[in-house]
Amino acid sequence: MAFLKVANRAISSLASGVDDAVTEWTLATGEGALFPSSGDFHVTCEDEIVKCTSRTGDVLTVSRHEEGTDAAAHASGKAVKLQITAEIIEEIQDILDGGIDKTHLSQDFGSSALRLHAWNFTPKQGAAFYVANAATSPFSGVINGNPTATEVVYDGEANENCLKGLGSGATRWGRFVLHNTTRGNSRLIVDFDEVAKEIATEPSTDDWADGDVVTLQSQTCTQAGYMDVDLSDEIDSNVIVIFIQVEALDKSALDQAGRRLIVHPFEAYNSGKRLMCPASLANEFTVIPCLLPVVSQKLCVFFDDWTDFAPQISVLATLEYADT
C-alpha cells in the first residue's frame, strides 16, 4: 500500500482565487518547493481537504472535497497547508491492526529453505527430573501382563535404578520417555513404584502387550546411557533453539571427577552439539548456560555414574519461526 506523502513546514498561500471546481491551484511564487515533488498528499485550505496528485513548480494538480469535506471557493491569499489529517492516522492504524500482508514471514526462502525467526524471552523454570543411582546403562524390562492405558507392570529388568526419581513429586519441566522397542512407540513417564514394579504413564491408546520390551534408551542418540526427555507441554512445536541454564548438584557424600550430566539434541549422536555440565564436587552446584537445538520438542540426557543427582533446567528464551 502507498502512504500519503508528508513534509515538514509545507505551508503556502493561493496566488490567485479558485472556485469550487478548479483542479489547478497556484501557490505563492517559489513556495511550491516546500511540498513533495511526487506522489499523493493531502492539503487543507480553510474547511476543504484536497488531494494533490502532482506538482509542477508552484502549481498543484488536485482532486476536490477529499475525506468528506465540501468543495468551496477560496480567495487569493488563503493558506494552503500540508498537515496530518484523519486519513493519515487511519493508514497507520490499519498497519497496527495487521493491515500489512505478513504471510511471507513464514515462507521458505531460496534453495536452503531458510525461514525468518524471532526470539521469545518468556522464561520457564523447574526441576527437570531427579535420578538416583543412574549409570551409563539404560533401564530395560519386559512387560508382565497386559498394560492399561496408564500403567505398565514389568519384570526381567536391567538397571532399574535409572527409573528412580522420574515419578511425581516436584513440578517437572519435561517428561522422560518410555519406549516400547517391540512396537516402536512411546509413552511419557508420570510415576514409578519400585516395589510393585509399576510405571505410571500419561494416558495412551497404544497397543502395548504382555512380553513387549520397554526401555529408557534414546531412540536417536544410541550411545549407551542417553535417554529422551519430552518437552511438548512446555515449548511450542515451532521452537528450534532454546537458551537454557543447566544446574547439576551431586548429592552424594564423595567427590568424583568424572561425574557429569550431558544434554544433547534429539537426533543422531553428534559430540559437537552436546553440552557437558560437570558436578564432581559433593553437594556443590555447577551452573552452565548454553544454546541448544531442539528437534521434535525433545532433548536427550546422559548421566555418567551418578549415585544421587538433582539437576534443574531453566529455559531463558526460545528461538521460534516468525509468526505469519
Flag whether pLDDT at 169 surpasses 60: no
The amino acid present at 183, given as its one-letter code, is R
d(Cα 249, Cα 252) in Å, to the nearest integer?
9
* pLDDT computed for residue 226 by the predictor: 84
Flag whether pLDDT at 239 surpasses 80: yes
Q: What is the mean pLDDT of residues 168-179?
A: 74
Flag whether pLDDT at 314 surpasses 80: no
Pairing of strands 24-26, 59-63: antiparallel
- Residue with the three cell numbers 555440565: 277
44 with 9: CB under 8 angstroms? no
Sorted by sequence, the CB contacts under 8 Å of residue 104 that are 6+ apart come out as none
d(Cα 206, Cα 217) in Å, to the nearest integer?
19
The amino acid present at 264, given as its one-letter code, is H
Q: What is the mean pLDDT of residues 247-262?
A: 72
Report for 130-139, 172-181, 208-217: range of highest mean pLDDT: 208-217
The DSSP code sequence of 246-277 is EEEEE-SSS--TT-EEEEEESSS--GGG-EEE
Flag whether pLDDT at 190 surpasses 60: yes
120 with 165: CB under 8 angstroms? no
* pLDDT computed for residue 55 by the predictor: 92
d(Cα 222, Cα 135) in Å, to the nearest integer?
15
Flag whether pLDDT at 311 surpasses 60: yes
d(Cα 114, Cα 261) in Å, to the nearest integer?
32
* pLDDT computed for residue 112 by the predictor: 46
Q: pTM to 2 decimals?
A: 0.59
Q: What is the mean pLDDT of residues 85-97?
A: 78
Flag whether pLDDT at 269 surpasses 50: yes
Chain mean pLDDT for the chain:
81
Flag whether pLDDT at 106 surpasses 90: no
Sorted by sequence, the CB contacts under 8 Å of residue 65 that are 6+ apart come out as 48, 49, 50, 71
Q: Which of 77, 68, 98 is nearest to 27 (CA)?
A: 77
Backbone conformation region of residue 68, classed left if phi is above 0, alpha if psi is from -120 to 50, else beta: left
* pLDDT computed for residue 324 by the predictor: 45
Q: Where are the domains of the chain?
A: 11-96, 124-321
Report for 73-87, 236-250, 274-288, 300-314: range of highest mean pLDDT: 73-87
Handedness of CA 62, 64, 67, 71 (dihedral sign): positive
Burial (0-12, 13-18, 19+ Cβ within 10 Å), 98: exposed
Sorted by sequence, the CB contacts under 8 Å of residue 83 that are 6+ apart come out as 44
d(Cα 296, Cα 290) in Å, to the nearest integer?
19
d(Cα 289, Cα 315) in Å, to the nearest integer?
10
C-alpha cell at 179: 519406549
* pLDDT computed for residue 238 by the predictor: 82
* pLDDT computed for residue 110 by the predictor: 45
C-alpha cell at 50: 484536497
Residue 103, phi then psi, degrees to nearest 5: -65, -25
pLDDT in tens, 110-133: 444 555 677 777 776 666 666 665
Q: What is the mean pLDDT of residues 140-162?
A: 89
pLDDT in tens, 53-66: 999 999 999 999 99
Please tell me the chain's helix, strand, coil percentages from 3-state DSSP, rounded to the nearest 5: 10, 45, 50
Q: For 215, what's the count of Cα atoms within 13 Å in the CB-facing half-sphere?
A: 17
Q: Which of 188, 187, 138 is nearest to 159 (CA)?
A: 138
Helix/strand number for the chain, H first, E second? 1, 22
pLDDT in tens, 196-222: 999 999 999 999 999 999 998 888 888
